[in-house]
Amino acid sequence: MKTIMPELTSVSEIERYTCEGCGNEVIVVEAPIIGGPNKGDLSRHKRGCLCWENEQAREAKKVQQKLKVRHMIERYSTVNPDLANACFENYQLLNPNLEKAHSMAWEYADSFLLDEPVNLLLSGMYGLGKSHLAYSICKVLSDKGFVSLFISVPKLLTIVKSTYRDDSNFTEAELLDVLSKVDFLALDDIGAEKVRKEEEGDSWATEKLFEIIDGRSGRHTLYTTNLTSDTLQRKVGPRNFSRMMMNTKVFKLEGDDYRINNKRF
């Protein structure tokens, strides 16, 4: 029997005690893990301890939640094909301002610390590489093991709306929960969302942005925008703007549109 199922016989008792938490008589046993990536390693069980069982259940739930989040991120953290290969290495330092932008973005990713949240706002005209740099940061942080998400705000709001449909795989609350918890969130093109002029600063989009931005206090968020501070403030509303500016480094990119550079006709 021992040769067929060694794990059956290799459970060994480590100690016995009375748990202060649940009051039960607890037996600590050690047994080799039967399968999976950690096969053969020893794992400890506290037989009879209710606290330990609850703790295990909580851990399992956390793992489940993380898997779900990962799934959602993989599904939505897609970028347009023109950005798919964007990284720090292929960003051309076309002028001193963009060179500064590049080194500032690089430093941001390099010095990223979870418990010292700093936000970043990249502003400037079209085609200067705001999204390019934002996505580059996202990639570096993902490689470092941080949960990072890059998403355009107009697209994000469409996704939020899609959760209202009956056939949605997840609820709005679940989506907002993911957005509030990722280590790094790049909100690309904030202010580009469609809002009726008379509803600027006071629309459904404003309210959703508020939930997202407010939910991220204490975490790292990056914004990119084409708008100037005045226009952006009007567009997203003063409450959102105020939160966006808290703890936030602002950098204005300047130069020529990379998309149309050298294509004058």
What residues make contact with Zn ion under the rule CB under 5 A? 19, 21-22, 49, 51
- 90: which DSSP letter? G
Which position's Cβ is nearest ligand ATP? 129
Cβ(87)–Cβ(215) under 8 Å?
no
| Sites for Mg ion among residues 130-149 (CB under 5 A) | 130-131
3-state helix, strand, coil in the chain (%, to 5): 45, 20, 40
Query: CB of residue 55 vs Zn ion: minimum separation in angstroms?
Result: 9
By a kind-dependent CB cut-off of 5 to 8 A, residue 51 interacts, out of ligand ATP, Zn ion, Mg ion, none, with Zn ion
Q: Does 88 bind ligand ATP (CB under 6 A)?
A: no
Q: Does 99 bind ligand ATP (CB under 6 A)?
A: no
The whole-angstrom separation of Cα 93 and Cα 28 is: 61
**Encoded amino acid at 186, one letter:** A
Query: CB of residue 149 vs Mg ion: minimum separation in angstroms?
Result: 16
**Encoded amino acid at 136, one letter:** S
By a kind-dependent CB cut-off of 5 to 8 A, residue 152 interacts, out of Zn ion, Mg ion, ligand ATP, none, with none
Q: Residue 133: enclosing H or E segment and its boundaries?
A: helix 130-143
CA distances from residue 264 to 93, 204, 254, 258 in whole angstroms, order as listed: 21, 40, 19, 12
Side-chain half-sphere CA neighbours of 17 within 13 A: 9
Q: Does 127 bind ligand ATP (CB under 6 A)?
A: yes
Contact letters for ligand ATP, residues 6-45 (x by CB under 6 A): ----------------------------------------
Q: Does 225 bind Mg ion (CB under 5 A)?
A: no
Q: Considering beta carbons, is residue 175 or 188 the nearer one to ligand ATP? A: 188
Which residues are bridge partners to 184 per DSSP? 148, 220
Residue 90, token pair as written in the block = 């292929």
Q: Does 128 bind ligand ATP (CB under 6 A)?
A: yes
E strand segments, the chain: 12-18, 25-32, 42-47, 119-124, 148-152, 184-188, 220-225, 248-253
Q: Does 130 bind ligand ATP (CB under 6 A)?
A: yes
Q: Does 86 bind ligand ATP (CB under 6 A)?
A: yes
Query: CB of residue 106 vs ligand ATP: minimum separation in angstroms?
Result: 13
- Reduced to 3 states (helix: H, G, I; strand: E, B; else coil), residue 194 is coil
Cβ(223)–Cβ(95) under 8 Å?
no
By a kind-dependent CB cut-off of 5 to 8 A, residue 104 interacts, out of Mg ion, Zn ion, ligand ATP, none, with none
Pick from 88, 106, 146, 258 the residue near ligand ATP by CB under 6 A: 258
Query: CB of residue 209 vs ligand ATP: minimum separation in angstroms?
Result: 18
Q: Which residue ranges make up the site for Mg ion (CB under 5 A)?
A: 130-131
